[in-house]
């Protein structure tokens, strides 16, 4: 592994079935000494396993108790030997030529962070809200050729290990939904590692979609806990994440944000087809109303 080029890092909690599946998909890629798989079991009640006879390039590390995504990701990157880290979720489907495509992309492109677009697995049933969420092409955009901090995610991302180590990895004190990812993206910017790009022509399929209730719960947690922690550390980000302060204050005088959130929430529950702009407004309202109510 001295010459390892790519490390696939998989943080997992209590999901042996999807771990087996994604490892099977990765094993279909051409085996060689230029890539490895690093699995981090984040304190699953029943310890996870790789397989009865795992390849030499598969490694498993375990936290005795659950420490959260930030800690599990940091552990995986620290244990990885590759120059490039590919941080993935077990809910993604991996093509049989994935390693060769990522290797070619890394050689031909200059980037600090490269991010996959995620799409719905073919044949997977989705309601209108889930279809909006999984269609990142309709929500993620580039500005001056760069992916903005607010739209940088780490569920399917490639970066150099050296850069990650230089900025200190994920802040494990901010292990709530969204906060530690935005914090890392912003700190990368501050260090000058701001070249964030899409990995062209290689979207990854999600094999599981989140429910409306699950999304609401995570966004409310972000608004109550993750976002306050982020803005306490980086107060200068407030105008970026919570814009139009004066306008929002006027809306709150008439209780309009909560009323609009409830109205859209009802439409989502009824599975009405809404515009992307209205869905984006809904997500922002969930976060911002949770922020106001904290």
- Domain borders along the chain are 6-206, 212-293
- Count CB-CB contacts under 10 A for residue 10: 26
Q: Are 143 and 173 in contact (CB under 8 A)?
A: no
Buried b (16+ CB within 10 A) or exposed e, 50-81: beeeeeebbbbeebeeebbbbbbbbbbbebbb
Structure confidence by residue, pLDDT tens digits, 68-79: 999 999 999 999
Structure confidence by residue, pLDDT tens digits, 81-122: 999 999 999 999 999 999 999 999 999 999 999 999 889 998
Give the integer Cα–Cα distance in Å for 66 and 171: 16
pTM here is 0.91
Return all residues near 277 (Cβ < 8 A) that are at least 6 apart.
none
Res 174 pLDDT > 90: no
6-206 CATH fold: Spore Coat Polysaccharide Biosynthesis Protein SpsA; Chain A (3.90.550)
Residue 137 pLDDT class (50, 70, 90 cuts): low
Q: What is the three-class DSSP state of 9?
A: strand
Structure confidence by residue, pLDDT tens digits, 34-50: 999 999 999 999 999 99
Give the integer Cα–Cα distance in Å for 289 and 162: 38
């Amino acid at each position: 592994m001295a010459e390892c080029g790519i490390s696939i890092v998989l943080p997992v909690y209590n999901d042996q079935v999807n771990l087996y599946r994604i490892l099977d998909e990765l094993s279909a890629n051409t085996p060689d000494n230029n890539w490895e798989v690093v699995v981090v079991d984040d304190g699953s009640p029943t310890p996870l396993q790789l397989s009865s006879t795992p390849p030499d390039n598969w490694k498993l590390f375990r936290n005795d108790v659950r420490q959260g995504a930030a800690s599990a990701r940091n552990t995986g990157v620290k244990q990885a030997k590759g120059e490039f880290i590919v941080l993935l979720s077990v809910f993604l489907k991996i093509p049989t030529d994935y390693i060769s495509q990522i290797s070619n992309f890394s050689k031909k492109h200059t980037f600090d962070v490269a991010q996959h677009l995620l799409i719905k697995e073919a044949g997977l049933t989705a309601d209108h809200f889930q279809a909006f969420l999984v269609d990142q092409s309709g929500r993620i955009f580039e500005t001056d050729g760069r992916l903005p901090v607010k739209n940088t995610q780490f569920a399917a991302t490639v970066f150099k290990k050296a850069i990650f180590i230089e900025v200190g990895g994920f802040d494990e004190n901010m292990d709530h939904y969204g906060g530690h990812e935005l914090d890392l993206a912003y700190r990368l910017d501050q260090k000058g590692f701001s070249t964030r790009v899409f990995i062209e022509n290689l979207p990854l399929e999600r094999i599981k979609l989140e429910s409306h209730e699950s999304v609401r719960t995570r966004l409310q947690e972000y608004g109550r806990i993750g976002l306050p922690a982020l803005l306490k550390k980086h107060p200068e980000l407030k105008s970026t994440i919570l814009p139009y302060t004066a306008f929002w204050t006027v809306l709150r005088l008439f209780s309009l944000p909560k009323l609009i959130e409830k109205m859209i929430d009802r439409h989502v529950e009824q599975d009405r087809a809404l515009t992307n702009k209205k869905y984006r407004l809904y997500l922002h309202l969930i976060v911002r109303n949770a922020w106001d109510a904290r």
